[in-house]
Amino acid sequence: MNPTRTQVSIQKSEVEGSRGLIATKHPEASAIGLDTLQAGGNAVDAAVAAAFAVGVAEPWSSGIGGGGYAVVAGPGGADVVAFPMQSPALATPDRYPLDGRGALGAFLWPGVLDDANLIGWSSMSIPGAVAGLALLHERHGRMPWRELVEPAVELARRGSRLTWFDLLQMGRHAAAGQRRAELGRVYYADGGPPRADVGEQPLLVQPDLADSLDAIAREGPDALYRGDLAKAIVDDCVANGGALRRDDLAQYRAWAMEPLETAYRDATVVTPGPGCAGPTTIGTLNIFEQAYDGAGGQADADRLHAYIWASRLAQVDRFVHMGDPAFADAPWAELVSKAHAEAKAALIDTQHAPASEGPGDPWAYMASDRQIERLKGDSSTTHLCTADGDGTFVSLTNTLGGAWGAEIVPRGTGICWNDGMWWFDPRPGRPNSLRPRSFGLNNMTPAIVTRGGRPLLAVGASGGRRITNCVSQIISHVVDHEMGAQAAIDAPRIDASTPWVTADARLGEAVHDDLRARGWDVQAPPYPEQSAFASPVTILAGPDGSLRGGVDTFHSAEARAW
């Protein structure tokens, strides 16, 4: 008789509505987004209000000191607003000398002396979030700007309720409060992370941030980029040896980007274009479509083998070619073309993983040491999706870079600042090498899938380099296997964004062993928790016109429907 053992099952319910839906990484932000819809706002208004709010509720992950991308799709077609972080004019390579360490962190860059590109004032880059949310509102919003920012002001002033996940994250990253006096004063006032008794949700009160947001509500983006806030931020940075200056902030502009689109099976996938991981996600799906006909089950070993190959081949393109499109002379159109995908798919060996240094080995182009030294947590990004009753979907990602960003809160502002200099390869002569006033290659991939000209799915995730595998697999779960909004998130996934393959334990030992026999270094964490596979949220249009929302089970994320 075969033995049995205890099984763990954790699930979240799918929510459903018809007039609007919002899915974010925090209940407070989801509540504010839904309130915005019910007050007469559209999906874009809800996304803007929720983005400001989630930056208050999870300040280690995102906020007005960060940057990102938003995809909008609806009756008027698709649009992308880009607002990533930009390097300051004084951020020259000599400020970031190499120290001899290799294969560090999520990007596998070599180490920089004193981690100057990762923490501290020299890691600070120009944030795009406020400019981007303002441009998104200008192009598609309905409600007055001030009414969209004021709920975040009030949330910061009265305090947001810390969920179990918030307490976990503040505990995990409490060392930042010891390293940085102002961050410690604002967020770790008792000398350590906040604690809660059973049934208690402590409040995170941020009066300085409330004042900064209030200025943005009243004055618009100029408050951050040209006003008194800009002076306070730069004065603090200059006093501590950082590179950021007032003219860096004043010159920043978010922009409308041409959407990147590809057909996948009977649907169309829309992402941002060059600069983020949109082209990598599109490339993965294009190659996978050529390599696998979708006939097998979601956990079929042949399917997973083809997907890993597709992901690795797309990552080769990413490592070899991609960076700021203003400086990286990459064949952008070819990299996302069906012809390129067909040629790439022809390299796939259906029974074997690529040999070391082979066509599907992206790390051949990076560092010889494949053991990644982890420097900071990846809990530094947020994603949200919104939809309204008029058929408009929004998918929006915003990030600080690493956990707590640069670990810098400019004195008196309450703003957690990004560490966007970490996005650049500190080695010269590469497509993504560090340059002044440049946009570093990043992992964000907000996406919307349409079918028959109507939005079908909004999806995105936090999770660093794991984001693109997460997003592309959820798209496959919906398009290839007709899964629902929550089921597509909860289904077992793999991640091939590291030199090894992380496989959900629920796929089973037989599948793991099959993949190992083909040559993949498969590792299986005992539980399917979010840190191994990225942390998504989704909105899916039902065949009856309903809206259905799903969120990461292993996060305090929440969807609310109207």
Q: Are 485 and 549 spatial neighbours (Cβ–Cβ below 8 Å)?
A: yes
Count of other CB atoms within 10 angstroms of residue 368: 8
Q: pLDDT tens digits for 114-137?
A: 999 999 999 999 999 999 999 999
Residue 384: CB partners within 8 Å, gap ≥ 6? 22, 23, 24, 25, 29, 33, 47, 50, 51, 54, 394, 396, 460, 537
Distance CA 189, CA 411 (A): 15
End-to-end CA distance of the chain: 50
Q: Closest Cα partner for 26 from 292, 379, 377? A: 379
Distance CA 370, CA 367 (A): 7
Count of other CB atoms within 10 angstroms of residue 527: 11
Residue type, 518: R
pLDDT at 368: 45
**What is the pTM assigned to this prediction?**
0.95
Query: What are the residue boundaries of the structural domains of the chain, listed by start?
Result: 257-375+444-544
Give the residue numbers annotated as catalytic, written as ranges. Answer: 381
Instruction: Walk across the sheet containing 77-83 and list its strands.
Output: 255-257, 77-83, 67-74, 393-399, 381-388, 20-24, 558-561
Q: pLDDT tens digits for 307-350?
A: 999 999 999 999 888 888 888 787 888 889 999 999 999 999 99
Mean pLDDT over all residues of the chain?
A: 92
Q: pLDDT tens digits for 472-514?
A: 999 999 999 999 999 999 999 999 998 899 999 989 999 999 9
CATH class of 257-375+444-544: mainly alpha
Residue 45 confidence (pLDDT) above 70:
yes
